Amino acid sequence: MSQTSRPAPADAAARRAVKPVICYPNETLPAPDLALYHAARAGAEKTAEVLVPARDAACFEVPAGHFFRITSVEGPQVGDLNLWHRDDLSERFYSGKTRALHGTHITTGERMWTSFPKMRPMATLVEDTLGWYGIDEFGGSVHDVIGTRCDPYTGNLLAGSQYHHCCHSNLTRALADHAGLSLAEAEPHVHDVLNVFMCTGFTRDTGQYFMKKSPVRPGDYLEFFAEIPLLGALSACPGGDCSSEHSSDSAACYPLLVEVFAPAEAALQGWQSPECNGYDQSHGR
């Protein structure tokens, strides 16, 4: 953070001492019925799986009312997750609003929200084997919604590199292949991610985004309940556990496994996919 030569005012300490106010108190958010979801999950059967190769990405589909699990296999690995409505790519994960509602990192009982104007829950996190990590002494935690995704444009800007296996590039290729789009058509749909298993935060002195070695181990997983029909794309980050680099051909990288589970037909009696946001757009026009 740059410093100016202007001296601090006499009341600087008093200004800094003002207590913060939470921008979006979330006590009135509709709470997910985790007991219902866990009961439905207990009898669910696996219907599909996708193994995402190291330094690559793959797509998967999840019907509304089904579950999907992302598991670290073979070695410690982080991933970048994009989600869209399966039938409408314009409704996609809104990381900024998810961050505003839940915080910089998400865990069990919290949700991924969709973009305007529909703004509704798209996936609820129902199991997190790294939920024990909390916030460490550096301010780091796991599963962040503060980073964007490693991308070739920033690499070129900072280092003049031309790296083609950044998560942005991987997600673009995966979406293009799955949806039958050209790369140019697919790229605008790729968006800021949920950084699955990645351990991140902001430095206390300069406020810069940092990463550190992820605590993930083979067998750790995140599991979600699909609130709407989902198309997902997951990239196994070329940085591996992101202990030193996030765009690298030298870091140890491993696959990530995505599994989809279907509950019994009667297990979700009374559950309905959430409706679109009820804001009346005509009031603002």
* pLDDT tens digits, one per residue of 122-181: 999 999 999 999 999 999 999 999 999 999 999 999 999 999 999 999 999 999 999 999
- Asked if pLDDT for residue 1 goes beyond 80, the answer is no
The answer as to whether 251 is a domain residue is yes
The answer as to whether 135 is a domain residue is yes
The whole-number pLDDT of residue 247 equals 79
Per-residue confidence at 197, pLDDT binned at 50, 70, 90? very high
Token couple for 244: 């030193």
Per-residue confidence at 2, pLDDT binned at 50, 70, 90? low
The answer as to whether 279 is a domain residue is no
Per-residue confidence at 285, pLDDT binned at 50, 70, 90? low
Helices 167-179 + 152-159 axis angle, to 10: 150
Beta bridge partners of 52: 256
Q: Can you tell me whether residue 134 is helix, strand or coil?
A: coil
| Contact of 236 with 77, CB cutoff 8 Å | yes
The answer as to whether 37 is a domain residue is no
Name the H helices within the chain.
Answer: 12-16, 34-42, 95-102, 152-159, 167-179, 183-186
Where are the extended beta strands (E) located within the chain? 45-52, 57-62, 67-72, 79-85, 88-92, 111-113, 121-128, 141-144, 194-202, 209-212, 221-226, 230-236, 256-262
The answer as to whether 283 is a domain residue is no
The answer as to whether 284 is a domain residue is no
* DSSP letter, residue 93: B
What pTM was computed for the model? 0.95
* pLDDT tens digits, one per residue of 74-88: 999 999 999 999 999
The answer as to whether 20 is a domain residue is no
Full domain range(s) for residue 86: 49-255
Query: Count of domains in the chain?
Result: 1
The answer as to whether 9 is a domain residue is no
